């Protein structure tokens, strides 16, 4: 009987160890709109996450892919448990990281690339952001907490000495809808802070012009979008997290090596009516870097802490991202 008890105890210990190493068999991943999400789209279409998870010694997960617009919707879904991975700009990640510290503990998994965003306008009188008036409306995916509004606040701080000077002019609107509104010339929308391919679509119209670029505001290339999760999920699924990073690394390398094929894949996956050479030109743009390595995350955090958007400041970019990225040359 004593021997049997030892066997049962050993079995329980073994079962517990196995359970501790079991990782999720299902993933729910959400992306937003635009070419900047191409690494996620490539990983989805080519099954790279499933392959990387299997390579890590786990069964291929069943993945549910969703498409949402704006950081607010992403964060709500992630924190409520409706998502395992959200995607949004680096600025809203930092905001959510700070706000959920000690609760949901949101954490970055990987950057999706460094991509310039451009503030465009159909108002010929608007040459710089100092020219906006109360008659203008600036479309953004999510006011105040999104990436574009925070870059706009950075620009406003430099131009006016008041970071929220233009907040009252901003309107929440998905990029595709804002592009259609701006190009129609029949909407209250007179400006749009947006990303590829919407920037390039708008600037093809002679009525639309560039006001500023986010690279101008930040002083060079910066991470645009990131994939993120909760610390609880990351801690419970370390092999899955590492596999997703590996899959995104592979996707980024494939895009860089195969821009024409990547353009075709994007058009098919998104049901886009854009011409293949138009999308390929965006992918080949030397200002766009497809990489999982965060760039200038600390610059965003410094600004947000200074203006009070966040109450706790990360010591470095590594506080904002999972450990598998820490050996990379981020900033």
Here the tokens at position 49 are 């996450």
Residue 17: CATH number of its domain: 3.40.190.10
pLDDT at 85 over 70: yes
Nearest to 116 by CA among 28, 227, 35, 48: 35
SS3 content of the chain, % helix, strand, coil (to 5): 50, 15, 35
pLDDT at 6 over 90: no
Detail the DSSP E strand segments found in the chain: 26-31, 62-67, 86-89, 106-114, 118-121, 138-140, 170-172, 191-194, 209-213, 223-230
pLDDT grade for 12, boundaries at 50, 70 and 90: very low
pLDDT(222) > 60: yes
84 and 164 both lie in a single domain: no
Q: Is 269 helix (H, G, I), strand (E, B) or coil?
A: helix
From residue 14, give the alpha-carbon distance in Å to each of 2, 4, 21, 22.
Answer: 18, 15, 11, 12
pTM score above 0.85 = yes
Per DSSP, helices labelled H in 117-184 are 147-160, 175-184
Percent share of the chain, pLDDT over 70: 93
User: Pick from 153, 282, 169, 294: which is nearest to 223 by CA?
Assistant: 294
Residue 176 Cα distances to 150, 172, 179, 194, 241, angstroms: 20, 12, 5, 10, 31
Greater model confidence, 9 or 227: 227
26 and 108 in one domain?
yes
Domain identity same for 15 and 105: yes
Helix 38-45 vs helix 48-55: crossing angle, to nearest 10: 70
> Is residue 51 in some structural domain?
yes
| pLDDT confidence of residue 71 | 73
Domain total of the chain: 2
Instruction: Provide the residue range defining the domain that includes 193.
Output: 118-218
Worst-scoring range by mean pLDDT, 29-38, 198-207, 285-294? 29-38
Residues 107 and 254 in one domain: yes
pLDDT for the residue 75: 86
Same domain, 89 and 145: no
Mean pLDDT of 209-222: 97
DSSP structure class, residue 145: T
The pLDDT score that the predictor gives to residue 67 is 86
Could you tell me if residue 331 is inside a domain?
Answer: no
């Amino acid at each position: 009987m004593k021997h049997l008890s030892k066997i049962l105890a050993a079995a329980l210990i073994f079962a517990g160890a196995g359970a501790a190493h079991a990782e999720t068999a299902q993933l729910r991943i959400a992306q937003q709109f635009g070419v900047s999400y191409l690494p996620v789209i490539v990983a989805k279409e080519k099954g790279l996450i499933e392959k990387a998870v299997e390579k890590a010694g786990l069964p291929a997960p069943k993945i549910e892919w969703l498409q949402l617009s704006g950081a607010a919707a992403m964060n709500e879904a992630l924190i409520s448990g409706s998502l395992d991975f959200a995607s949004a700009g680096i600025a809203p990640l930092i905001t959510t990281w700070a706000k959920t510290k000690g609760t949901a503990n949101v954490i970055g998994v990987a950057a999706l690339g460094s991509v310039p965003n451009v503030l465009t306008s159909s108002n010929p009188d608007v040459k710089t952001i100092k020219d906006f008036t109360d008659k203008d409306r600036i479309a953004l995916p999510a006011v105040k907490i999104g990436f574009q509004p925070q870059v706009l606040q950075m620009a406003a701080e430099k131009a006016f000495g008041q970071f929220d000077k233009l907040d009252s002019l901003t309107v929440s609107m998905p990029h595709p809808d804002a592009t259609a509104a701006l190009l129609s010339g029949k909407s209250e929308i007179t400006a749009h802070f947006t990303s590829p391919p919407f920037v390039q679509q708008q600037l093809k119209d002679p009525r639309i012009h560039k006001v500023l670029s986010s690279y101008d505001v930040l002083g060079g290339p910066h991470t645009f979008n990131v994939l993120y999760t909760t610390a609880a999920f990351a801690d419970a699924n370390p092999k899955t997290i590492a596999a997703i990073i590996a899959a995104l690394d592979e996707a980024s390398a494939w895009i860089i090596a195969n821009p024409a094929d990547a353009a075709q894949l994007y058009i098919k996956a998104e049901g886009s009516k854009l011409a293949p050479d138009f999308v390929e030109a965006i992918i080949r743009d030397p200002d766009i870097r497809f990489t999982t390595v965060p760039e200038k995350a600390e610059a965003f955090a410094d600004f947000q802490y200074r203006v009070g958007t966040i109450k706790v400041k990360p010591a470095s970019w590594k506080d904002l991202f999972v450990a598998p990225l820490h050996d990379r040359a981020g900033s």
